[in-house]
Chain A
Amino acid sequence: EVQLVESGGGLVQPGGSLRLSCAASGFTLSNDWMHWVRQAPGKGLVWVSRINSDGSSTSYADSVKGRFTISRDNAKNTVYLQMNSLRGEDTAVYYCARADPRVVAINSPDYWGQGTLVTVSS
């Protein structure tokens, strides 16, 4: 069964850091473009970041550029999101999602994890 499992969420104070992990099982993500998408409580989906299959290309939303870093370890079948200088407005469920360019468009992830909640509060 294809699964993406996020971990690393939790409560952090403003200005703090967290590293989210997204582990894949049932498939290898080495061919996939990986995305992080967040959703604040009761709000809509917001794209955060993406990384290409070999990690050579990354992109970020303006709201997180310079604070968040996406990376991947294909040997560990895992993608990461390092989040620094966290703010209250970063509070959200963070989803990782994959887009296999052999199947769908690179902006169209077709498998999503269940999300991990990040709460930024003092």
Chain B
Amino acid sequence: QSALTQPASVSGSPGQSITISCTGTSSDVGGYNYVSWYQQHPGKAPKLMIYNVSKRPSGVSNRFSGSKSGNTASLTISGLQAEDEADYYCNSYISTGTVVFGGGTKLTVL
């Protein structure tokens, strides 16, 4: 159950687009379309932004999109806004029936 690999930090200016990667193996990210992405602001509970690789829950802005290629999933945020500054985590279902999170990525809006 090794954590999925995410960059520690990414940054972008308002209005720009950024992409956060999440790399796993064929036993997790690559093996299932069960990748999710969470946004967490300091002191708050995580918020689901993307599930099943690319689906958005009701109420989540369409500026957030997800994709996957092989063992790497990606979260793209377009039209960056100040309120997007937060920590982002990916997670995946694993073949053992468990779940694993990525190490998290801190997004800074410059």
Q: Which A residues are within 8 Å of any B CB, using their own CB?
A: 35, 37, 44-47, 50, 57, 59-63, 95, 97, 103-110, 112-115
Contacts and interface: CB of A to CB of B under 8 A. Distances in A.
B64 interface: no
B104 to A, nearest CB: 4
Given A37-B46, A47-B98, A104-B57, 8 more contacts: A44-B89, A44-B102, A46-B3, A105-B51, A107-B91, A109-B48, A110-B48, A112-B47
A45 B103 CA distance: 7
Nearest to B40: A45
Contacts, number: 73
B89 A108 contact: no
B89 A107 contact: no
Interface centre among A45, A50, A95, A104 (most CB of B within 10 A): A45
Given A45-B89, A46-B101, A47-B91, A104 B48 contact: yes
What 10 A-B pairs are tightest by C-beta distance, nearest first? A108-B51, A44-B104, A112-B45, A108-B36, A107-B93, A47-B99, A110-B48, A45-B101, A59-B98, A107-B99
Given A44-B89, A104-B57, A60 B51 contact: no
Nearest to A107: B93
B104 A107 contact: no
A61 B91 CA distance: 14
Interface in B63-96: 87, 89, 91-93, 96
B93 A95 contact: no
A50 B99 contact: yes
20 contacts: A44-B89, A44-B102, A44-B103, A46-B3, A47-B91, A47-B101, A59-B98, A59-B99, A95-B45, A95-B46, A104-B51, A105-B34, A106-B34, A107-B34, A107-B99, A108-B36, A108-B48, A108-B51, A108-B91, A113-B45
Contacts of A61: 1, 98
Contacts of A97: 46
A104 B94 CA distance: 16
B100 interface: yes
A44 B91 CA distance: 12
A112 B36 contact: no
